[in-house]
Copies of this chain bind each other. A is one copy, B any other.
Amino acid sequence: MDFDQADRVNQAIRLLSLRHRARTAELLAPLGLHPGQEALVLELARTGPMIQAKLSEALNIEPPSVTLMARKLEASGHLRRTPAPTDKRASVVELTDSGRALAGQLKRLWRALAEETVAGLSARKVQDLPGLLTTIAANVDTRHRR
């Protein structure tokens, strides 16, 4: 592959990252959320209460990021952190009523964003898109390298 072609690939990914995040920020702003936080709330809504280490793994972000984001979502009343009964090191995080209500809002918004994202694509391409993106994401995964 020559440089121009490689650059097109890399730059397209970078641009998509920037724009998708910016659009997410725009949609999330009315809810008082910042991009990244929606993933945390949606994961808790999907899976239920869990330890922070689990969240870190589910979201593919590092534990310190979970600590800080959870602290902010706790401050805004959307979630609660309680010491784990079985393990004094761990802390369980779960949605509050406010957090569950927020998750409902998020789900609607999340569908709107996805529809906007794939606008104009054929049904086949829409169908294949998640798989395609997941594949190339796996290709550049930092962990299972050589």
Interface residues, chain A, with chain B CB atoms under 8 Å away: 1-3, 5-23, 26, 39, 42, 60-61, 107, 110-111, 113-121, 125-126, 129-130, 132-142
Known: A14-B39, A42-B7, A130-B8. A140 touches B115 (CB 8 A): no
Cα separation A39 to B18 with both chains bound (whole Å): 13
Cα separation A137 to B137 with both chains bound (whole Å): 17
Cα separation A113 to B120 with both chains bound (whole Å): 29
Interface of A (DSSP majority class): helix
Q: Are B9 and A118 in contact (CB under 8 A)?
A: yes
Query: B residues within 8 A CB of A61?
Result: 18
Q: Are B117 and A9 in contact (CB under 8 A)?
A: yes
Q: Are A15 and B121 in contact (CB under 8 A)?
A: no
Query: B residues within 8 A CB of A139?
Result: 116-120
Query: B residues within 8 A CB of A117?
Result: 9-10, 13, 136, 139-140
Chain B min CB distance to A46 (Å): 8
Query: B residues within 8 A CB of A121?
Result: 132, 135-136
Known: A20-B140, A61-B18, A139-B120. A3 touches B111 (CB 8 A): yes
Q: Are A1 and B115 in contact (CB under 8 A)?
A: yes
